[in-house]
Amino acid sequence: MPLVIALSGFKNGGKTTLALGLLREILSAGLSAAFVKHTEKDVLPPEETDTGKTSAMGIPSLYWGGDGALLEARAGEISREKILEFFPGKDIVIVEGAKGLPLPRIWVGDPCGVPPDLKGVFAFFDRTASGSDGKKVFFPGREKDLAAMIIGMYERTGGNSPATLYVQGKKIPLKTFVSGMIAGCLAGLVLPLKGVNSLKGGAEIYLKRRK
C-alpha cells in the first residue's frame, strides 16, 4: 500500500509543476507512483450517459478509448482510505490539493502564507526562495532533495518491509519477523503457480469480504 502525500497551496502556485517533478524523481529511484488531482469542478458524466447510469448505481466504470482509459466512480466523500483502494499496489501517491484530508503535506508557496487551520505540513516549496536551511524549505532546483525526503518517509513507514497488511484501508502494524513470515509463506505458495516467474516487482493479494 502506498504512502500518500498531499501538495497544497493557493491557485496557480505551482502545485502541478512540483508534482510532475517529484513523480519523475520517484520513478527514477525505482519506485512506483500515482497522481490524484483535486478539483472543485464536477468530473463525472451526466447520469443519462452509458457510464453515468452504471456509476449512479455505485458500480465503477472504465471508459476505454483509443488513447487510454478513464475510471469513473461515485466515490462519495474521498478519504485517504478511498485513495488507497484506487492505488493499492503503488509505492507513493501524490495528491494535488486535498486541504481537508488528514495527510502529510507539502505547502507550495510562502511558508508564512499557510492557513492556520491546515494540518500535516512537514515541508515547504517556495518558488520565490533562492536558499534555505536545507531542512524544511525547498525551492526550484531542489525537487530531487524533496523527493528524497518523501522516499525516506516511505521507507520509514514500512516501504522496505517484505509485506504490509491493510484491512479495510487501515494499516495493521507488523513486527519485522511477522512481515517476513507472511512474505515468505505467500511467496512459497505463489511462486510455483503457473504463469508466475518472479516476485521482484511485488505482488498484491486481495481477500474477499466474509460474512
Q: Where are the chain's structural domains?
A: 1-43+72-160, 161-197
Where is pLDDT greater, at 164 or 138? 138
| Strands (DSSP E) found in the chain | 3-8, 33-37, 61-65, 68-72, 92-96, 105-108, 121-125, 137-138, 165-167, 170-172
| Per-residue pLDDT at 27 | 95
> What's residue 144's pLDDT?
94
Q: Which three cell numbers stand for residue 153?
A: 518517509
C-alpha separations of 81 from 75, 166, 199 in Å: 11, 10, 26
C-alpha cell, 89 = 499496489
Residue 211 has pLDDT above 90, yes or no: no
- Residue 66: phi and psi, rounded to 5, are -70, -25
The stretch 168-175 carries a mean pLDDT of 75
The answer to which of 7-11, 41-45, 100-104, 151-155 has the lowest mean pLDDT is 41-45
Question: Residue 134 has what DSSP assignment?
Answer: S
3-state secondary structure of 201: coil
Evaluate whether 203 touches 190 at the Cβ level (below 8 Å): yes
Instruction: Read off the C-alpha cell for 138.
Output: 525547498
State residue 69's pLDDT score. 85
pLDDT of residue 165: 79
- Which fold would CATH assign to domain 1-43+72-160? Rossmann fold (3.40.50)
